[in-house]
């Protein structure tokens, strides 16, 4: 059957919002018009795509399968529209970029600002998610490229990766946290506490933390609290005994204000290398390459500042240790 992309977009919006009212606002339609579109699509497919009831909408089992294919088809169509506009060479058009939770605050926002100053006619949409969600969006062609933690070998063979800077993971806690009173602190002491971080850490980090927890008979899964908002992570860490697994560069102001304290524990296996990734079969237009150049430059500057902060924190810690009275 011939698919009407307009109807597929309506179904995608309803599948995301799970509400006719919210989806209609997103699409700038009246609610009755959206309802008629969904009824038309169900009539054409001969399938019930959504269950309605109690003010909430849920995709049926068949609807979930249909929506998965619809998203992929729409992603390809929208990618073609963007490429045609960009390949005209007018400097206009649009880009859709996926940005990981930590890259967003570390350097992608700065890169986008730099790019848009010299390309004011290019529209841009940034999709924020963890690396797993972004790789899946890339495969569905919903984004042109992504900036995220690089998956382990074999997890993304269909993706071209341009590595960026290696970032050391750090543990932050609130002032007065019980861990700060310990004379000696090991990784096992830290990860025994509940950890808050992005909901999808890389495989190497998960394996390392779970191994340490297992060795010390701590059997909780990782992460204990996961979200994709760095602000929410910080708020929870400042109000609880949860340990924030993060990057120094994403928390500079919070550390400078003394709202969170970096623990003197690091592990080379708890870190991530971010990268710019796009599908191997996809040729990026010149405008996307220009934005990637801005991302690479902003990452380098951010990594330099992060190393300087780490050095300063290590120096101040050594000063405090020298001033501490010796035990007798």
Give a three-class secondary structure readout of the chain. CCCCHHHHHHHHHHHHHCCHHHHHHHHCCCHHHHHHHHHHHHHHHCCCCEEEECCEEEECHHHHHHHHHHHHHHHHHHHHHHHHHHHCCCCCEEEEEEECHHHHHHHHHHHHHHHHHHCCCEEEEEEECCHHHHHHHHHCCCCCEEEEECCCCCCCCCEEEEEEEEEECEEEECCCCHHHHCCCCCHHHHHCCCEEECCCCCHHHHHHHHHHHHHCCCCCCCCCEECCCHHHHHHHHHHCCCEEEECHHHHHHHHHCCCCEECCCCCCCCEEEEEEEEECCCCCCHHHHHHHHHHHHHHHHHHHHHHHHHHHHHHHHHHHHHHCCCCC
Task: Dump pLDDT digits (tens) for 76-87.
Answer: 777 677 666 655
Residue listed under structure tokens 């350097």: 107
The highest-confidence range among 202-206, 295-299, 306-310, by mean pLDDT, is 295-299
Tell me what the pLDDT averaged over the chain comes to.
87
Q: Answer yes or no: is pLDDT of 316 > 70.
A: no
**pTM score over 0.85:** no
d(CA 55, CA 21): 10
Q: What is the pLDDT of residue 327?
A: 34
Q: Answer yes or no: is pLDDT of 324 > 60.
A: no
Task: Dump pLDDT digits (tens) for 140-169.
Answer: 888 989 999 998 877 788 899 999 999 999
Q: How confident is the model at residue 197 (pLDDT cuts 50, 70, 90)?
A: very high
Task: Give mean pLDDT, residues 293-297.
Answer: 97
CA-based angle 11:15:16, to the nearest 5?
120
Task: Dump pLDDT digits (tens) for 2-15.
Answer: 678 889 889 988 98
Task: Give mean pLDDT, residues 49-70.
Answer: 87
Q: Answer yes or no: is pLDDT of 69 > 60.
A: yes
Of residues 154 and 36, which shows the higher confidence score?
A: 36
Task: Give mean pLDDT, residues 187-191.
Answer: 95
Percent of the chain with pLDDT over 70: 91
Q: How confident is the model at residue 285 (pLDDT cuts 50, 70, 90)?
A: confident
Q: What is the pLDDT of residue 86?
A: 54
């Amino acid at each position: 059957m011939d698919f009407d992309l307009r109807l597929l977009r309506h179904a995608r919006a309803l599948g995301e919002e799970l509400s006719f009212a919210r989806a209609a606002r997103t699409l700038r339609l009246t609610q009755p018009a959206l309802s008629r579109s969904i009824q038309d699509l169900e009539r054409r497919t001969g399938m019930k795509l959504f269950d309605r009831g109690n003010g909430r909408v849920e995709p049926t089992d068949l609807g979930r399968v249909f929506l998965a294919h619809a998203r992929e088809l729409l992603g390809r169509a929208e990618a073609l529209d963007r490429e045609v506009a960009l390949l005209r060479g007018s400097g206009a058009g649009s880009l859709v970029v996926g940005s990981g939770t930590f890259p967003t605050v570390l350097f992608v926002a700065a890169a986008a600002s730099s790019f848009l100053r010299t390309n004011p006619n290019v529209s841009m949409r940034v999709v924020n998610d963890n690396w797993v969600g972004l790789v899946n969006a890339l495969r569905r062609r919903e984004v042109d490229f992504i900036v995220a933690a690089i998956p382990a070998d074999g997890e993304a063979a269909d993706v071209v990766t341009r590595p960026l800077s290696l970032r050391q993971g750090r543990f932050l806690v609130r002032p007065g946290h019980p861990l700060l009173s310990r004379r000696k602190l090991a990784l096992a002491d830290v990860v025994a506490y509940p950890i808050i971080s992005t909901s999808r850490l890389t495989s190497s980090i998960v394996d390392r933390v779970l191994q340490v927890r297992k060795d010390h008979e701590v059997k909780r899964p990782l992460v204990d609290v996961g979200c994709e908002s760095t602000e929410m992570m910080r708020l929870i860490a400042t109000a609880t005994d949860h340990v924030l697994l993060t990057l120094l560069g994403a928390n500079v102001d919070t550390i400078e204000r003394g709202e969170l304290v970096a623990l003197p524990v690091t592990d080379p296996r708890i870190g991530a290398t971010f990268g710019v990734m796009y599908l191997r079969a996809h040729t990026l237009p010149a405008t996307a390459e220009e934005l990637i150049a801005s991302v690479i430059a902003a990452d380098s500057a951010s990594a330099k500042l992060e190393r300087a902060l780490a050095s300063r924190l290590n120096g101040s810690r050594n000063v405090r240790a020298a001033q501490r009275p010796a035990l007798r």
